[in-house]
């Protein structure tokens, strides 16, 4: 199954191939790959994020929701455990959500690397 980023890259490549194939466009066929790579590198991350097509562990909205659900439960629980009143401000919640999103991205990347090393077949077979 093709993910959203791959679909977007394929569309960009198709558009660049079409544009380079137009006689009115002063570009050589060898320019397709560098043009497509430059465009993809520049806009793909923004489009993926804007359309909510990133994996759930990279979503700040998902982590923000989890923190928003957990914070009202965690504060009284921490207060009970340590015996002092604990509050978690909205700014602290936003910082926690951002840190969790970054950690989720790192874990996702590590799992992808681990999966590649554990794979028994080359990519594409």
Question: 68 and 113 share a domain?
Answer: yes
* Number of domains within the chain: 2
How far is residue 41's CA from residue 52's CA, in Å, rounded to a whole number? Answer: 18
Instruction: Print pLDDT tens along the chain (125 aa).
Output: 567 778 888 888 888 888 888 888 888 888 888 888 888 888 887 777 677 667 777 777 787 788 888 877 877 887 777 777 877 888 888 888 888 878 877 887 787 777 777 767 666 55
- For 32-87, the DSSP string reads HHHHHHHHHHHHHHHHHHHTT-S-GGG-HHHHHHHHHHHHHHHHHHHHHHHSS---
User: Contact 9/40 with Cβ under 8 angstroms?
Assistant: yes
Residue 36 domain boundaries: 1-54
Does residue 66 sit in the same domain as residue 125?
yes
Q: Structure pTM?
A: 0.40
């Amino acid at each position: 199954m093709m993910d959203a980023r791959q679909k977007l890259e394929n569309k960009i490549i198709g558009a660049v191939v079409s544009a380079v194939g137009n006689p009115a466009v002063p570009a050589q066929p060898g320019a397709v790959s560098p043009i497509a790579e430059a465009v993809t590198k520049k806009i793909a991350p923004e489009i993926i994020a804007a359309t909510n097509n990133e994996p759930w562990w990279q979503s700040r909205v998902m982590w923000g929701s989890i923190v928003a659900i957990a914070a009202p439960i965690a504060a009284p629980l921490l207060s009970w455990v340590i015996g002092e009143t604990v509050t978690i401000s909205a700014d602290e919640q936003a910082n926690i959500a951002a840190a969790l999103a970054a950690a989720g991205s790192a874990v996702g990347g590590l799992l992808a690397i681990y999966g590649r090393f554990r794979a028994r077949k080359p990519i594409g077979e």
